């Protein structure tokens, strides 16, 4: 019985590793995160003079603005068929964390509009808040 349980656990671990590898290869073949989500990346980088890419991997990219007043980041994470975008504000005026989940091939302009509307609905003046 113990051998069966160990075999199932090992099989699940193997499947997870294989699926993660396939996901990374898929994003790389689509040009990487900057290219795949170029509309969102360009919108973020062009919407504030100090916006920059903080980190990029094969399946994620973090863009933000940092100053003495705080930090605002957008963390785009490619997962199985979806892109999850985490919006985090940590400033002297307060904190806000929002999570957006979209189908990976959804119109990026619609994603942007949804994020803008939800961010403003949560009391922010704009996507970069106080920056």
Q: For residue 47, report the phi and psi dihedrals to the nearest 5 degrees.
A: -90, -5
What pLDDT was estimated at residue 21? 74
Smallest CA-to-CA distance from 24 within 70, 53, 50, 58 is with: 58
Smallest CA-to-CA distance from 85 within 52, 40, 25 is with: 40
Going residue by residue through the chain, which has 131 residues, state the pLDDT in tens, using 9 for 90 and above: 888 788 787 778 877 777 777 777 777 778 888 999 999 999 999 988 999 999 999 989 999 999 888 899 999 999 888 999 999 999 887 888 999 999 999 999 999 999 999 988 887 776 665 55
Per the rule left: phi > 0, alpha: psi between -120 and 50, beta: everything else, 110 is alpha
Single pTM value for the model: 0.79
Give dist(CA 112, CA 49) in Å, integer: 18
């Amino acid at each position: 019985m113990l051998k069966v349980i160990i075999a199932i656990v090992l099989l699940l671990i193997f499947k997870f590793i294989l699926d993660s590898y396939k996901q990374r290869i898929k994003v790389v073949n689509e040009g990487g995160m900057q290219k795949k989500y170029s509309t969102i990346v360009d919108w973020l980088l062009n919407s504030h003079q100090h916006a920059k890419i903080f980190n990029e991997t094969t399946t994620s990219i973090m863009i933000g603005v940092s100053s003495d007043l705080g930090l605002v980041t957008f963390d785009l994470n490619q997962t199985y068929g979806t892109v999850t975008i985490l919006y985090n504000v940590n400033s002297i005026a307060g904190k806000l964390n929002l999570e957006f989940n979209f189908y990976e091939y959804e119109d990026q302009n619609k994603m942007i509009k949804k994020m803008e509307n939800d961010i403003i609905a949560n009391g922010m003046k704009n996507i970069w808040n106080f920056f």
